[in-house]
Amino acid sequence: MNPSATKLLFRDRRRSLHLYDIATQTRNTLRDFCSYVQWVPNSDVVVAQSRDNLCVWYTIDAPERVTIFQIKGDVEDIERAGGRTEVIVDEGINTVSYRLDETLIEFGMSIENKQYERAVMLLEELELSPETEAMWQTLCNLALQDGRLVIAERCCAALGDTARASYLRKVNAVAAEAEREGMQDGTEHFLVQARMATLDKQFERAAQLLLDQGKVEEAMEMYQELHRWDEAIAISESKNREETEELKTSYLQWLLMTSQVRFPAPLVVQRHHLVSCHHCQ
């Protein structure tokens, strides 16, 4: 098991290497014909040998991102001391060592200890590659889970996800304003929570957070922006708002404009009388 006891590595009778995630209870097959496997001491980095390949997973959460070295012997051990990590390979006559990237190893230790700022600093020193891209994504996911939205915004920018980075920038602005007004943790502000729920596609929770604060208009606008007109109309009806019929008409016009509903010619002329169609119930 890894140091945090969240993942398990094991080989079956055919020497296929598997990774089992305890939290999600899922299993991934990493390699076939695996003769050696070990966690790098005090890290979540995995070293394994499959035939003539030395395989290194710096980010085990992205098992498809693997660094491979061609070797001519058998892996004997992993040595870590003095700021260096080396894989020792016995080639018969000679013993050869393969040095691993200590920065990438330290990244894993940083996120394990939730030192996200240090993790960002480490990644900023590295060029974008398949391995570092996977690390930015892992850091982004963890930062979102822990409510570290500034870190998550930085990760999205590094990954080129400009849409989500822009969205998070606006959310962070709301959180910062809440803190300036005296709130200890701006991420706990209801509007921040609602927008993050929307980002996570938890639309009902987002709407309820807004409605609990009396923000009926904002909840309706959220659904309209998502083109979820049925929910917006349902909120309007439940609050007995005067613009309910106007909202239904707008919905029907949107359906017609996007060719999601068609009427025979005589009915199109009178479509303004059809606001109670089955789409608007």
pLDDT per residue as tens digits for the range 107-144: 888 888 889 999 999 999 988 888 889 889 999 999 99
pTM, two decimals, is 0.71
How large is the C-alpha radius of gyration of the chain? 27
Per-residue pLDDT band for 275 (boundaries 50, 70, 90) equals very low
* Percent over 90 (pLDDT), the chain: 54
Residue 273, pLDDT above cutoff 90: no
Give the range among 201-205, 227-231, 255-259, 268-272 with minimum mean pLDDT.
Answer: 268-272
Please name which of 22, 80, 71 lies closest in space to residue 48, comparing C-alpha atoms.
Answer: 71
How far apart are the C-alpha atoms of 43 and 54, rounded to whole Å? 18
> What are the extents of the domains in the chain?
7-90, 101-184, 189-281
Residue 269, pLDDT above cutoff 50: no
pLDDT at 31: 92
Residue 30, exposed/middle/buried by CB under 10 A (0-12, 13-18, 19+)?
Answer: buried
How far apart are the C-alpha atoms of 52 and 49, rounded to whole Å? 7
How far apart are the C-alpha atoms of 281 and 272, rounded to whole Å? 15
* Percent over 70 (pLDDT), the chain: 93
Helix (H) or strand (E) holding 98: strand 95-99
Residues 125, 131, 134, 139, CA torsion sign:
negative
pLDDT at 80: 87
Q: Which residues have CB under 8 Å from 100's CB, separation 6+?
A: 40, 45, 47, 56, 85, 86, 87
Q: In what order do the strands lie in the sheet with 26-31?
A: 7-11, 17-21, 26-31
Give the range among 61-65, 113-117, 190-194 with minimum mean pLDDT.
Answer: 61-65
